[in-house]
Every structure is written in C-alpha cells, then in structure tokens.
Structure 1
C-alpha cells in the first residue's frame, strides 16, 4: 500500500473510546479513534504488517505480539535477564518424568470476569495441542500430551516422556478464556485475556487500540492506553516518528537509525536463513546445499545490506551462552569456486533453476537480502527467481509440506530462539517437524537424545553434535544473527528484550 509522508491526523482519547468496547469484539469502522488528537499519555506504535488475528494461540509474529503480549499472559515468563520466573503460576515442580505441576496465582480473572483457574489452564493447553486447531505455535507444544486439573488452583501438564524444556514452553503458551476463546461477536473475534491491558478497537487495515486494565491483578501499567498503527511504508513510519505522531517504530532500516529521535538496538535471538526443500531432487544432495552456503558472502551481507547491524552466525541458530551452541563451528566461508566444484560433483555443472520465496515487509531488509542471496547463487549457476508474498499468504503457503505440490523450494525467514535452547529448532529440522522440509534420521536421533534427558550437560553435547551434523548436511543457508533496531520518541523510556517480547507495562512516557 502506497502512503504519502504527510503527518497523519491525531487520535481521539483511547481511554474514552476504549471504554465503549472493553471485553467485546474486534469492532472497526464507524466512530473510530483516528479523527482527533491523542492524549499525551497514550503510546502509539507503528508496525509494517497487520495481524491476521489476535488469537494468541494461533499466531506468533511481532506485529501480533505487540498486542497479544499485553492482553494475554502465560504461566511462566522470562525476566529482563531471560531467566524464567513465575507469572500466572506462583510455582511449579516436576512430579515425575511425564508430569509437571503448577500452582496458580489466586484471585486472577479474565477481562470478561470469568475466573483464571485450573479449568482455564486445562482448556488452554488442550486447545493449542488439538491437531484440528491450526496453530502456528507447534514448536512451542512439542512433547505436551495434555493437562489435568488437580484442584481449582493446581494443574498438571502431561508430557509424552521427559521434557526438559517444558518450563520454557510455558513461557510461550498464552492462557485464554474458556468462555470467550474462539468466539465471535458481530462477526469479529472476542479478545479476552488476563493481562494489564484490555482490547479497545480494531479498525481493519489501520490500527488496533488497547486500554489499561484498572482491575489488573498485578502492578498497574503507567501508560493509560496505546495504539498499534499499521504503517507499511518504512519512510512514512520514520516521518511519523520524527513528527511526534508515533512513539515506537519496529524494524528501522539500518540507514534510518541515525535519523530517529532515539535508537533502541539489541542483538536479537533471531537468526536469518534460507530453508531448503530437500525433497526437491536438485536440493537432495548435501553437496548442493553446502555449495549454496559457500556461494553467499555473509560478511558482505552484514556490512552492506545491514550496515553492521547484524553479524554472520556460526552456522547454527544459536549464539554463545545458549544451550547446545557448538563453539567449534564457523560460518561457511565465502568460496564461490568451491561451490561450483561441489555443484559439478553433485551432477549440476550448469546449475539449475529454482524459486526463493520471501514475505513483503515482515523482516528488516528481507526482500533486499533475498535479492542478495539470489544474485550470489546465480553467480555459481543456481538461478534463483525471487518470489515475494504478502505476509499472511507467505505464512500459510510456507507451511505446505515439502512432499506436496506448491511447497516452497527455498524460504527466507528469521528463526527466533527465545528459549535460548537448541530444542527450539525441532519443528524446522526433524523429519516430521511441522515447519520442516528436511529429513535426516541422524538429526532426529540427536534431537530425541537431547529431549530424553534432564541432564543439561548431556543435552549440551547432544545438541552440539546435532549442529555439527547440520553443518555436514545443511537444512538451510545459514545467514546472520540479527539486531533489532527500533526508533523511539524522546519521551519513551524502554529497553528492548532479546526474546522479542513487548510488555507495554514496562514502558514509561516522560510527557
């Protein structure tokens, strides 16, 4: 969508408007909040893509999380240092190899007034693991068999064996209201959580507003209301930030950083890559995939496209300090001549034609990176046509199984590792993984070994070996560890988190 650079009309008080819609449906249109000035105490965040839904159990992208992180909560949460802490659960313990017990915080209610209790936890767990529930959070539910009520404040989470990452999974599964989840009102979702903010309005294609939950069970947020505004054009978003129309812009381009009133940057737990569909004949030989890794100059990519705001990752979706990191691995060197030799050995001296798929506007410099990779592959004979998709279309099409018609040959994306644990990658690299187009029984064996022990030293060894195997038999072109670059107004006090969570209750406005 083309947008001009003129300042937008300011918003009506979201507190006034939001009170009309608390705990109701995602209404849009008439009487909206965009026709007059916003209150000085309100926050406005600009995002490039609009969420397809605000059901937090269905999706997990950044444009959704800035909304859902503040409406919904989890049993456990990571603090600013990434350590797991209690949230809706006051404590938890492992009862046996297949049972974890959680004691819930008393007196918590959903925005619709219904209680948050063991029944709600059982409902939330059973809902997200239901095979008929088409969640895109499958990597967060691996190994969870179900949930069982012990008493109103106690619930057991059941696993299909030892599950050393169950606490991490519980930081990633939002709790939803049994009375409201999946319900519709006036043709729109009913959006009800336990969080410090309540849903206000949704003007489709334009903005979503939230208002403070003054009945919140925990510490009250200082910001009375906030709006998430859809601004697909990056220059328009920056202009709005400079003009004081917005307070926070996601995914500033590197060249924009010096133009923002404030820059907030952090080395992220996101790793960019191009996944292979190894079920395609031309990509089935590991030598071809090694060659494609050697064809791409990651240092040049980091320094040119990202202007130093990223760094080549060590051929794994982990960084130092994360469990499973293999310190002996290095990025594939840039060696186009060796790439050509490997392609010839694999039977492709003249290369082949293929498609590289990328979403529009979802990842900072994503389209430019796809073009860079395609040019690098072309230089060694792999003629990659870049195909660009709307984000929501890409998200659906990208999950087509590698053995099925319409599956992407090559898929550019970022893999987030907010668990700081190699187990997070399971769904992308195992033979039956929901997001996988790759199958190596040795990798599956090592993944299973890492999942079947609670000994962290053993898990470290198993996952380090797994990444060594994925270096010999790559599932993707390993690109960069990304930085998150945010533009902020001078009045915003906030520090970004490496786990890509966005809690407005931790933000402050100075005026």
Structure 2
C-alpha cells in the first residue's frame, strides 16, 4: 500500500513529555512541582493561527448517524467526532496528546494534592450567546457525578468529593485522594461543559456548546451540519460549515470523494483506504490508541468460570484475526495502549494460540463444549463482522461456539451500554492515561462495570494507587499489575490495535489526525474553492 504516513506518528513515541503533563497537571513546571508537592498549568490550547470562516465548506462522509447529541452519554465514535467540535472541556489534548488548557486558562494543585483549582477564561460564551462561568462548571461536574444522569465518564470524577464555584472565574475541586489522572480525564468530550440553563432533552435536539463550531441543522439518517462559531474563544474556526453526510458504506464514500461530492472521510478498513488514494485524494495513516477486543461478560452463564474465559483466550490466534480482518495493518496488543504504560502482549497465560491449553482449561471447567451469544456491530467500524467470523472459526476448533448476533450501530450501542450481552466484538477508544481507559470499566464502583462484567478487590486497590501516585515510573509499575490482573483472569480478550486512514481531497488543508481518533483539528482545516 502507498498510504501516506500522517507525519504525526510521533504521538506514540513522544508520549513521555505528554505523560509528564498528564501526571503533573501542568504545562511548564513539572520539575518544580515534584519538589514542592504542588503543580500548575497555564497558557493556550494551541492551534495555528488561521483565517476566519472564509476557509470554505467541508463535507465529511460518515457511515452512521450520531446516536446521541448529549456529550455526557456519547460512546459511538461518530457521535463523539461531531460533539467534540461543538463542546468545550476544561482541559484539552494537543496533537501529541499532552494536556493543555481549554476552557480553564490555568489550574493549580495544592501541596497535599487534595485541591485542584481552575481559573476560567474570561469572555467565553455558549453558542446561544449566554456567558460561560463557574456556575456552569459546577453544574456540569455535579451532574456528571450524579448517578441518575448516567454519564459514561462518571467514574473519571470518582476522586472529586465536592465542586465549589469560589467566584465567577474560579472553581475548586476538593478531592478525596490525590488524582494524577484527573487533568487528562477532564479533556474528553464526555466531560464537556454544558450551560446550567439548558436541559438534556433540549440539548439532544439542539446542542449548545462553547466549541469552535455550533449546531446548525440535522436531517436524521442523512446529514448533520455545523457552522462556524464566530464567538469562539480560541483562534477563529477556519471553515464556514461542516456537513457530516451519512453514506452507509465506506466504498460508497470513496466513490463520493472521487466524484467531488465529499472532501474528507476517516476509514478503518485498509483495503477501502487503498482504493481511495488517487490523484485527487490523499490518505494519511495514523496509529490509534483504540483497541479491538472480544469482550467477555463474566457475570453471564459459562463465562462466570475463569477457566472458560482462559480457554477462549488460549484458543485465539490474535495475529490471524489481525491478518484476516485488517490485512495485518496493526499490531497485537495487551489491555493498555497508552504509550507510556503500554502492556506487553506476551505477558498473558497464552501469548500464542495453544489449543492443548485451551482444552485443559475447558476440562477444568467441567465442560466439553460451550456456546457464547455474541453481539457484533455493523456500520460503526468496517472490520467488525470479519473479526467476528474469524473468531467464530478459530474458537469452533476448541469446542467453543460463538453464536453471532449482528446489530446495526444504534442497537448495538444500546445493548452494549446496558451490559445486555454474553460477549461483544468491540472497538473501544483508548486514552493517554490508563485510568481514564479502564477504571470506569474494571472497578467495582465503575459506572461501566456492567459493560465490563468483571472487577476485583485487587483491581479496585490498584486503580486507587494509580490515581494517587504522581511518579511516572511508579504508575507504570501499578498499571503493569492492572494489565496482568486483567490478562490472568481473561476479563476480556484483547486482540489488536490498528490505524485510521484519513482521506482528504487535495483541496483540503490543515487537518491533523490524532492517535486518539479526535477530529478536533477541523477547527484549523480549510477547503480551497
């Protein structure tokens, strides 16, 4: 394949500096912080200076309509990609996944690590013209923490005991224990700042955020259009409008790009990406933190037996799944894909396929054969069905039957969030900090624990230690233990990480692909007329 490397692949190798920012919560004084016990951050979220909305209008081809417009509840990739351009967060990630200021211009951690104080930017407004201030921050964080809200990132605020708006531009978070992961966790759109004057019902129809683009209109199952937010606090957004046009098949999107009707799309199928590249379309290949996995729900039926789960783990050749579903475009992975904390994929009971061990584990469970009902998404990402079919074929050789139920994206997400499955073929987003990736899944109080189907006192303690520890080397050791605990109990079967392939017409300039899959740099993208 002749796909053009994005030039941003250094996000995976330059993460040491980013991790220091994540742990210390600062953009320039990490070394002083280590000595004083405090930390601070200040500055701008960055992004190159750009012209105003004269940068043209962009049509982005997507395979699925967003299933929600509420950022606190968004898990579907398409919904997240839209909402991160509408809403703002207290902190943000730069292109190398370093934590930088967002709606908060700076923050400071107390010497004992138990108070995190944010200074908010002056003059920020929501798209409807109303002012953003500390009352909105308190409202948003309190609502996310409230179990009744069913926010998907509620566990990211587990250490936050209280939120106080000390004045219009300052918010103090009182923590139950030091939390090194919190600044990074606050950068994801699931912790977006909403107006205290809005209701969730209203926002699911007409979003109202502080981001570079504002909601314009939506035609269900056809398109969703954003317009430039002229009052955006940062560098002026460059595009006049962005239309996310629903075209259910990636190959059809390629045809639309080659005919000039679509100027940009992000593919996950390497074969489709290869066909997209032409004299008028270029393709950037970017390694991702997201990971493909066979999720096992250890609360359901035969999967409650660790020996059954280990039998499944040993019966799978992960590289075969990668070769079959993604043409070998990626690498076999363990649980943690965060570069500074990356798991060793060889550190698991069966690093290579071993049908003899699979049979031994199955015999320990007292079963000669098992059947696992497995949900599969069709439409959210391209390789899902091929992955499922390959897994089914491999596991059949070990006396394990995957009974596949292929669902459209919205139905799959509903079942997934409810934990209504025995197993699920899944592509989950990764994060720079492993606490944000997994504490909401694999702790007993995690708000997505019913999705994970597994927790243990050991994991509860390890995640608590990881949040409370600021030293990068100590944190790496802790999350290595987390990874080992997950693998040794076959909580899920981690398969591989892959790439995204960002296809753009030659008229499109300025977009920066990111390893977390974010489309935030649409704010600096232009389309030549």
Which band: TM-score by shorter chain? 0.7 to 0.9
Q: Does 1:116 align with 2:121?
A: no
Q: Does 1:171 align with 2:191?
A: no
- Check conservation: 1:234, 1:252, Cα contact below 8 A: no
Equivalent in the alignment of 2:19:
none
Equivalent in the alignment of 1:34:
none
Q: Does 1:312 align with 2:327?
A: no
Q: Does 1:414 align with 2:427?
A: yes
- Check conservation: 2:314, 2:355, Cα contact below 8 A: yes
Aligned-pair CA distance for 1:140:
3.5
- Tell me the TM-score normalized by structure 2: 0.83
Counting only pairs closer than 5 Å after superposition, residues 456-495 of structure 1 correspond to structure 2 as 456-493=472-509, 494-495=511-512
Deviation string for 1:235-273 (max 9, x for gaps)?
211211111111122224221122212112211010111
**Cα distance change, pair 204–429 in 1 and its aligned pair in 2 (3 A):** same
Whole-Å Cα distance in 2 between the matches of residues 460 and 64 of structure 1?
32
Q: Does 1:297 align with 2:310?
A: no
Say which is worse superposed, 442-451 or 474-483, in terms of deviation.
442-451
- Check conservation: 1:268, 1:483, Cα contact below 8 A: yes
Equivalent in the alignment of 1:11:
none
Aligned-pair CA distance for 1:328:
6.6
Deviation string for 1:124-167 (max 9, x for gaps)?
11122211112223354333334211111100123332211110
Aligned-pair CA distance for 1:345:
2.6
Equivalent in the alignment of 1:262:
282
Whole-Å Cα distance in 1 between the matches of residues 473 and 325 of structure 2?
38
- Check conservation: 1:324, 1:421, Cα contact below 8 A: no
Say which is worse superposed, 144-153 or 104-113, in terms of deviation.
144-153
Runs (4+) of structure 1 moved beyond 6 Å? none
- Tell me the TM-score normalized by structure 1: 0.86
Counting only pairs closer than 5 Å after superposition, residues 49-198 of structure 1 correspond to structure 2 as 49-95=64-110, 96-172=112-188, 173-182=191-200, 184=202, 189-198=205-214
Q: What runs of 5+ residues in structure 2 fail to find an aligned partner?
A: 1-53
Equivalent in the alignment of 2:446:
433
- Check conservation: 1:324, 1:462, Cα contact below 8 A: no
Whole-Å Cα distance in 1 between the matches of residues 345 and 335 of structure 2?
10
- Check conservation: 2:263, 2:505, Cα contact below 8 A: yes
- Check conservation: 2:217, 2:225, Cα contact below 8 A: yes
Equivalent in the alignment of 1:376:
394
Aligned-pair CA distance for 1:177:
1.4
Secondary structure at the counterpart of residue 366 of structure 2: coil
- Check conservation: 2:61, 2:246, Cα contact below 8 A: yes
Secondary structure at the counterpart of residue 195 of structure 1: coil
Deviation string for 1:406-443 (max 9, x for gaps)?
x3111121232223435521122223333220132222
Equivalent in the alignment of 1:47:
62
Whole-Å Cα distance in 1 between the matches of residues 442 and 150 of structure 2?
20
Equivalent in the alignment of 2:351:
332
Secondary structure at the counterpart of residue 198 of structure 1: strand
- Check conservation: 1:254, 1:307, Cα contact below 8 A: yes
Q: What runs of 5+ residues in structure 1 fail to find an aligned partner?
A: 1-38, 402-406
Match of 1:501 among 518, 525, 529: 518
Secondary structure at the counterpart of residue 100 of structure 2: strand
Larger proportion of helix: 2
- Check conservation: 2:250, 2:272, Cα contact below 8 A: no
Aligned residues: 463
Secondary structure at the counterpart of residue 392 of structure 1: helix
Equivalent in the alignment of 1:21:
none
Say which is worse superposed, 481-490 or 222-231, in terms of deviation.
481-490
- Check conservation: 2:56, 2:526, Cα contact below 8 A: no
Equivalent in the alignment of 1:395:
413
Secondary structure at the counterpart of residue 338 of structure 1: helix
Equivalent in the alignment of 2:362:
343
- Check conservation: 1:139, 1:425, Cα contact below 8 A: no
Secondary structure at the counterpart of residue 189 of structure 1: coil
Whole-Å Cα distance in 1 between the matches of residues 80 and 524 of structure 2?
15
Whole-Å Cα distance in 2 between the matches of residues 291 and 462 of structure 1?
27
Equivalent in the alignment of 1:272:
292
Whole-Å Cα distance in 2 between the matches of residues 194 and 145 of structure 1?
26
**Cα distance change, pair 158–453 in 1 and its aligned pair in 2 (3 A):** same
Aligned-pair CA distance for 1:342:
2.0
Whole-Å Cα distance in 1 between the matches of residues 360 and 149 of structure 2?
46
Aligned-pair CA distance for 1:80:
0.8
Whole-Å Cα distance in 1 between the matches of residues 332 and 271 of structure 2?
19
- Check conservation: 2:314, 2:354, Cα contact below 8 A: yes
Aligned CA RMSD, in angstroms, stands at 2.1
- Check conservation: 1:253, 1:365, Cα contact below 8 A: yes
Secondary structure at the counterpart of residue 387 of structure 2: helix
Deviation string for 1:191-243 (max 9, x for gaps)?
11111111110111110111111222221122111101111122211211111
Secondary structure at the counterpart of residue 184 of structure 1: helix
Secondary structure at the counterpart of residue 241 of structure 1: helix
